[in-house]
């Protein structure tokens, strides 16, 4: 089983990844691929300008599907069910679909205010500290962190609209985990 989990910031993707890992899935995080490439290029994570420029240059030189190219290599090495976290553009999804059969997309949806409150509570160092910063992040995520506004037609929201399954996450972590377990049974039955 190959799952792609998408959602906007604070929607519950980390909880889904953690739950699927506990269920024996190999979790492939695009963010981890990004960090590996930064490390290889000797670019410090705490330099936002350098990391943005590196990402822009990487996509310009190697294609907008570059992270999926690395992910496919990891999928092929895995002998388990796989979940891909951090797919942000239709370019990445299109590449995956060309190279891997049977991908199912799960969209996690949650209201803007709920997502912001969750991010404030979890307080990761990279999380926005105020509503203005969260709006900026939310907008960037919608277009898959591609620079041009017209790229929104290739972003996360578009992928969410293509989802095979939707999890509405307005409750507790336990609620989300329970609904995810029910969904896994449904996906198995549908396959």
Specify whether the CB–CB gap between 109 and 160 falls below 8 A.
yes
Tell me how far apart the alpha carbons of residues 54 and 58 are, in angstroms, rounded to a whole number.
6
Range of the domain at 151: 2-190
pTM value is 0.87
Task: Provide the CATH number for the domain around residue 57.
Answer: 3.40.50.300
pLDDT tens, per residue, the chain with 191 residues = 899 999 988 899 989 999 999 999 999 999 889 889 989 999 887 777 788 788 889 989 999 999 999 999 999 887 789 999 989 889 999 999 999 999 999 999 999 999 999 888 887 766 778 888 888 888 777 765 555 666 667 788 899 999 999 999 999 999 999 999 999 999 998 87
- Residue 67 makes CB contacts below 8 A (sequence gap 6+) with 30, 33, 34, 86, 87, 92
**Count: domains in the chain:** 1
Question: Residue 83 forms beta bridges with which residues?
Answer: 3, 27
């Amino acid at each position: 089983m190959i799952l792609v989990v998408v959602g906007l910031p604070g929607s519950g993707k980390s909880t889904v990844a953690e739950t699927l890992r506990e269920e024996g899935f190999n979790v492939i995080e695009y963010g981890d691929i990004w960090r590996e490439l930064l490390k290889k290029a000797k670019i410090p994570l705490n330099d936002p300008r350098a990391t943005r420029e590196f990402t822009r240059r990487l996509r310009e030189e190697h294609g907008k599907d570059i992270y999926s190219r690395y992910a496919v290599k990891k999928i092929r090495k895995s002998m388990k069910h796989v979940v891909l976290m951090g797919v942000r553009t239709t370019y990445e999804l299109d590449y995956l679909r060309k190279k891997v059969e049977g991908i199912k997309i799960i969209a996690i949806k949650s209201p803007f205010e709920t997502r912001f409150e969750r991010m404030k509570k979890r307080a990761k160092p990279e999380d926005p500290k105020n509503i203005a910063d969260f709006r900026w992040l939310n907008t960037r995520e919608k277009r898959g962190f591609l620079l041009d506004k017209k790229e929104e037609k290739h972003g996360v929201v578009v992928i969410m609209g293509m989802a095979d399954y939707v999890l509405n996450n307005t409750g507790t972590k336990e609620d989300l985990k329970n609904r995810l377990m029910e969904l896994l049974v449904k996906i198995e039955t549908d396959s």
